[in-house]
């Protein structure tokens, strides 16, 4: 059985916010993607598009942040286990990078398709 404290919404929210603050403080890629999100989020709100189009734009934008956070978590766990070069550690980090690459690809393709459909 895991040594896990009883669930507490406020404590867990605090842990999540601590993680977000740490990402913003230490991860340049996350900061850049967060700035892009802050720029594009108002665009989603004010653009004349259907709810489905707006949802697709929002989901693809948030997916990019989720992927970057996941990649950072993978990198930190790998670094915790070993700082020495090990081919399996490198493969794990490469997969994390692939998650980010795929999310950015989905973001770009989704935005291109939706905006092309709106402004045809």
68 is catalytic: yes
| Structure-token match 């286990």, residue found | 81
Which pLDDT belongs to residue 46? 95
Q: 18: closest CA among 69, 61, 59, 81?
A: 69
* pLDDT tier, 1 (very low <50, low <70, confident <90, very high otherwise): low
Which residues contact residue 95 at a Cβ distance below 8 angstroms, ignoring those fewer than 6 apart? 74
Integer Cα distance of 116 and 57 in angstroms: 12
Kindly name the residue from 33, 68, 75, 84 that is annotated as catalytic.
68
- pLDDT tens digits for 78-115? 999 987 888 999 999 999 999 999 999 999 999 999 99
HSE of 59, CA atoms in CB hemisphere, 13 A? 10
Q: 103: closest CA among 75, 73, 62?
A: 62
- pLDDT tens digits for 42-74? 999 999 999 999 999 999 999 999 999 999 999
Count of beta carbons in the 10 Å neighbourhood of residue 80? 8
Report the predicted TM-score, pTM, of the whole model to 2 decimal places: 0.88
Which pLDDT belongs to residue 107? 98
Integer Cα distance of 19 and 12 in angstroms: 11
Compute the average pLDDT of residues 37-46.
Answer: 97
Q: Which secondary-structure segment (H or E) carries 117?
A: helix 87-118
Which pLDDT belongs to residue 117? 96
Which pLDDT belongs to residue 7? 82
């Amino acid at each position: 059985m895991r040594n896990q404290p009883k669930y507490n919404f406020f404590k867990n929210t605090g842990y999540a916010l601590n993680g977000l603050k740490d990402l913003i403080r230490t991860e340049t890629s996350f900061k850049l993607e967060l700035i892009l999100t802050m720029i594009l989020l108002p665009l989603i709100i004010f653009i004349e598009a259907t709810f489905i189009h707006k949802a697709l734009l929002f989901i693809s934008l948030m997916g990019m942040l989720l992927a970057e956070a996941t990649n950072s978590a993978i990198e930190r766990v790998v670094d915790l286990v070993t700082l020495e070069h090990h081919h399996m550690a490198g493969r794990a980090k490469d997969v994390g990078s692939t998650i980010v690459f795929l999310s950015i690809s989905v973001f770009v393709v989704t935005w291109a398709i939706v905006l092309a459909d709106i402004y045809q």
